[in-house]
């Protein structure tokens, strides 16, 4: 292992990379991690010096608050390599902003921009060989913050650990995605934590999603908790509905995550002249549209999932299959977005940021 110190960061490199053990053509999402990680502790009321070190398990006290009260947040981002071997991030400022707003909601300290951004840049440069060129190849970036303070008293921790780990990734979903519209379980409630990217929001979905899986559905479309009449998110994604030639998606709220892919697709679609309406989308109007043939597409949008077409949905034990369409809006937007992210086309929005 070799060590480099600056006054801002310490870098301890692995002696031997494990990259040659990885089959980059057959990656299952989020299961392989690069050689290094970034770690920065919060102790005695302040952030310590960030360290990049070999990826490895670490020790925590069994009473650490993260295990008992789920004081934990995360982000999902991606890095891309262009044809000239430059590394690019997509709207990292949006992830940084959302990370710290999740931290505030979970009574955690905000991570300084230089720890997050400069730490990430150093880490990406060190593990640059793990980012493969070509559409479909990405490096998924998982920044997270956990409460490490000891003691099972139910109040916020004094100590925290911020980390960034990196995982080479292809698509999150492969094959058809069929969804079930939620009628009983809820993902989020007004005044709750639905807009924060916090661990429990995802854990709370596992049980209802397992039940849906048993019925042959990959994901659930969550509805509002109070009336179950408004369509909100689809599993780990925001969700869009196309009726005739208009796209509809719910506005972000206390219950709905402010997705970076979601807001990018809205802007891209508008620029393409596609009519987009951001307003509550009712279950009843989707049922009416599927019955009268005007519901053309449903797709999910997220960093991991990119743009994921939904082939059909079930509501109150009735299954509705969507038409198979050539040149769907989902596929057009996905191509535009991934070409822009991989720097294969111009970026008129200024969303791509070079790692340097
Ligand atoms: C992402 O799309 O990055 C997410 O955070 C979803 C995750 C549960 C895979």
Ligand 1 pocket test, candidate residues 27, 141, 142, 236, most atoms within 8 A of CB: 236
Which atom of ligand 1 is the closest one to the Cα of 303?
Answer: 2
Q: What percent of the chain lies above the pLDDT cut of 90?
A: 95
Q: What is the mean pLDDT of the chain?
A: 96
According to DSSP, the residues that pair with 74 across neighbouring strands are 144
Cα(182) to centroid of ligand 1, in Å? 20
Q: Does ligand 1 lie within 6 Å of residue 144's CB atom?
A: no
Q: Does ligand 1 lie within 6 Å of residue 198's CB atom?
A: no
Contact 234, 253 (CB under 8 A): no
Alpha-carbon distance 123 to 140, whole Å? Answer: 13
Which atom of ligand 1 is the closest one to the Cα of 202?
Answer: 8
Contact 223, 183 (CB under 8 A): yes
Nearest CA-CA partner of 65 in 179, 134, 149, 181: 149
According to DSSP, the residues that pair with 90 across neighbouring strands are 352
User: pTM value?
Assistant: 0.96
Contact 90, 350 (CB under 8 A): no
Cα(260) to centroid of ligand 1, in Å? 11
Q: Does ligand 1 lie within 6 Å of residue 202's CB atom?
A: yes
* Segment 124-148, tens digit of pLDDT: 999 999 999 999 999 999 999 999 9
Among all chains, which residue has been given the structure tokens 């931290």? 103
Task: Please give the pLDDT value at position 170.
Answer: 87
All domains in the chain, ordered by first residue:
2-169 (3.30.470.10), 177-341 (3.20.10.10)
Angle at which helices 92-105 and 260-271 pack, to 10 degrees?
A: 140
> Residues 30-43, buried b or exposed e (16+ Cβ, 10 A)?
eebbbbbbbbbbbe
Task: Please give the pLDDT value at position 194.
Answer: 95
Handedness of CA 337, 323, 235, 255 (dihedral sign): positive
Alpha-carbon distance 15 to 18, whole Å? Answer: 10
* Segment 149-200, tens digit of pLDDT: 999 999 999 999 999 999 999 878 777 899 999 999 999 999 999 999 999 9
Q: What is the mean pLDDT of residues 35-44?
A: 98
Cα(74) to centroid of ligand 1, in Å? 9
Q: Does ligand 1 lie within 6 Å of residue 236's CB atom?
A: yes
Which atom of ligand 1 is the closest one to the Cα of 140?
Answer: 3
Q: Is the pLDDT of residue 262 over 80?
A: yes
Pick the residue whose CA is nearest to atom 4 on ligand 1: 76
């Amino acid at each position: 292992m070799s060590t480099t110190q600056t006054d801002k960061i310490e870098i301890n490199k692995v002696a031997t990379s494990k990259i040659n053990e990885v089959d980059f053509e057959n990656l299952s999402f989020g299961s392989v991690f690069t050689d290094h990680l970034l770690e920065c502790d919060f102790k005695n009321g302040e952030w310590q010096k960030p360290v990049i070190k070999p990826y490895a398990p670490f020790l925590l006290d069994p009473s650490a608050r993260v295990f008992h009260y789920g004081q934990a947040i995360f982000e999902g981002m991606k890095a891309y390599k262009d044809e000239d071997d430059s590394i690019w991030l997509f709207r990292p400022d949006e992830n940084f902003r959302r990370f710290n707003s999740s931290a505030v909601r979970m009574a955690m300290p905000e991570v300084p921009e230089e720890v997050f951004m400069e730490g990430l840049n150093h880490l990406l440069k060190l593990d640059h060989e793990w980012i493969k060129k070509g559409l479909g190849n990405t490096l998924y970036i998982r920044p997270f913050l956990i409460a490490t303070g000891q003691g099972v008293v139910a109040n916020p921790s004094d100590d925290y650990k911020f980390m960034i780990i990196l995982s080479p990734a292809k698509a999150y979903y492969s094959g058809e995605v069929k969804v079930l519209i939620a009628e009983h379980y809820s993902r989020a409630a007004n005044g709750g934590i639905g807009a924060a990217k916090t661990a429990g929001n995802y854990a709370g979905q596992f049980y209802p999603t397992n039940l849906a899986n048993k019925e042959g559905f990959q994901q659930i479309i969550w509805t509002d908790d109070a009336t179950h009449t408004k369509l909100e998110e689809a599993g780990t994604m925001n969700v869009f509905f196309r009726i005739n030639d208009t796209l509809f998606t719910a506005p972000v709220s206390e219950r709905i995550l402010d997705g970076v892919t979601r807001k990018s697709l809205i802007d891209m679609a508008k620029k393409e002249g596609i009519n987009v309406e951001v307003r509550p989308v009712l279950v009843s109007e989707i049922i009416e549209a599927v019955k009268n043939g005007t519901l053309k597409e449903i797709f999910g949008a997220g960093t991991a999932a990119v743009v994921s077409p939904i082939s059909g949905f079930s509501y109150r034990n009735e299954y509705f299959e969507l038409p198979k369409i050539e040149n769907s809006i989902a596929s057009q937007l996905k191509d535009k977005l991934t070409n822009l992210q991989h720097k294969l086309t111009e970026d008129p929005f200024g969303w791509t940021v070079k790692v340097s």
